Amino acid sequence: MQAVEGMPVMADSERRKNGMLQEYDRFSLTDKENFARIVNLLLSHTFLLVEEYDFREGITRVNKDYLFVERNYELFRQYFEMAGFGLSRDSHYGVISLSSRFDGTRVRLDKLSTIMVYALRLIYEEGRENLTLTKEVILTTGDLVHKLINLGAVKKKPSNQALHQALRSLAQFRIVNKFEGAWEDAATKLMIHPSILFVVSSEQISNMSRLIEPDGDASSGDEADTEEDEYIDGDE
């Protein structure tokens, strides 16, 4: 755009900001409420999934919040960008994710939760070859514990309290969910969401052996002082 003499050219960032405000002002009151609610939801949970499983009725529903963000993706992206967050989406797996440039907004997982993330990623990779319409992989808590033991990540089954806390923390970030039963019960069915693909990269999977010390044991769930501990963006 050519400047008119005596009139400064508006900076690109200022134009984007004005365009974002204009777009927001066109929202209805309901849409403005939805915008604020979903912003806080992403800050709390990091991931937004296109599908939600109704555990009571046993059916999968389309997530209306995901569709709202998809319709207004640029507005959400620019809003988060101003606060130092990056918004991204993967339409194939139906995952919208939030990341941060600042360490203060990242949650540090303990050693057991970190090892679980890697094990769940491996299980998801093994299971997604058989996926058809759904993008979720089903397993039990017992299956997960056996995987941890077979990988050499733990020497024995972690305590019920450690299992409960670790799985609950991963559920907070929409990585896993469960059907009926307690998190720590071996027979409890778990659902791995495709968001697991965006927590651990393929490169990190190849370096997983660094997390497993020859004489170490993550079964206690203690926080470990290693650079390989996993971080997830979101409110503490």
Q: Read off the DSSP letter of residue 200.
A: S
Alpha-carbon distance 50 to 130, whole Å?
A: 20
Alpha-carbon distance 229 to 82, whole Å?
A: 28
Query: Which pLDDT value is given to residue 2?
Result: 47
Helix (H) or strand (E) holding 108: strand 106-108
Cβ burial of 79 (10 Å; 0-12, 13-18, 19+) is middle
Domain ranges (residues) in the chain: 12-101, 106-233
Residues (pLDDT < 50) of the chain are: 1-4, 7, 9, 223-229, 236
Cβ burial of 62 (10 Å; 0-12, 13-18, 19+) is exposed
User: pLDDT for 5-19, tens place per residue?
Assistant: 554 545 566 666 677
User: pLDDT for 192-209, tens place per residue?
Assistant: 999 999 997 777 777 666
Whole-model pTM?
Answer: 0.81
Query: Which pLDDT value is given to residue 181?
Result: 94
User: pLDDT for 70-98, tens place per residue?
Assistant: 999 999 999 999 999 999 999 999 999 99
Angle between helices 111-127 and 160-172 (to 10 degrees): 70
How many Å from the N-terminal Cα to the C-terminal Cα in the chain? 44
Query: Which pLDDT value is given to residue 130?
Result: 74
Looking at domain 106-233, its CATH architecture is Orthogonal Bundle (1.10)
